[in-house]
Amino acid sequence: MRNLTWKKLSSTYVHTGPWATLRRDTCELPDGRINDSYYVLEYPNWSNAVAFTEEGKILMVRQYRHAAEIVSLELPGGVIEKGEDPADAIKRELLEETGYSFDEVEQIAVVYANPATGNNHTYCYIAKGGKKTHAQDLDEHEDIIVEEYTIAEVKQLLAENKIAQALHCTNLFYALMRLGELK
C-alpha cells in the first residue's frame, strides 16, 4: 500500500489557551512537497456517555452552547483532565452534571471530531444502573437541566434532528447498535 503519512518537520504555536491551542506545522508530504502552513487545533480529549438509570431511562442534559448560539440537548460528558483515565473521567462528569453515580461504564468507541483540523478524540461510553446520589456540582459557567428519555424517545429525537452535537449523535448510534435498537 502507498504511504499516505506526512512527516512533521516543525511546529510553531500561534495561540495557547486552556480549551484550545492553535499550532502551525510545516510538513513534508509523501511525494516530497512541503506544506509550510498546516494549522492544527489542539483540544483536550473528551468523554461522553449514553447513561441509563436503574429504571432504564437515558439521561440527557440541556444547556446553552455559545459558539453555536443554541440551547443543545446532549449526552452528559466533558473534558478528560490531564493524566485522568477516560473511564474515571466519564464517571466524574456523570456525577458532576447529573448527580447520578454509575458503577458500570463500557467504552464502545473512540472517535475524532474532525481529524483534518483537530488532534483530540472522544471516548464514547454506555453507562448502566445510574442512581441519583448527589446534587449537581457544575462548573462556574455551566447551567444544565437534566432530562430523562426512553430509547424510543431518543430515537425520535434523532430522527427529527433534535440532537445537534455530532459526537453525541455518534455515541447514540454506537449504543443503539450495540443494544440491537437500530431497525
State residue 108's pLDDT score. Answer: 98
CA dist 22 and 65 (Å) reads 21
pLDDT, position 182: 82
Q: What is the pLDDT of residue 71?
A: 97
The ranges of the chain with pLDDT < 70 are 183
Angle between helices 166-178 and 151-159 (to 10 degrees): 130
Closest CA to 99 of 143, 168, 139, 146: 146
E-only strand ranges, 66-155: 70-74, 77-79, 100-101, 104-112, 121-132, 145-149
Q: What is the pLDDT of residue 37?
A: 95
Task: State how far Cα 134 lies from the chain centre.
Answer: 23
In terms of Cβ atoms closer than 10 Å to its own Cβ (0-12, 13-18, 19+), residue 59 is: buried
User: Each residue of 49-98: pLDDT tens digit?
Assistant: 999 999 999 999 999 999 999 999 999 999 999 999 999 999 999 999 99
Q: Residue 6 pairs with which residues in a beta bridge?
A: none
8 Å CB contact between 90 and 100: no
Q: Would you state the pLDDT for residue 139?
A: 86
Distances (CA, A) of 130 to 58, 80, 94: 9, 20, 9
What one-letter code names the amino acid at 176? L
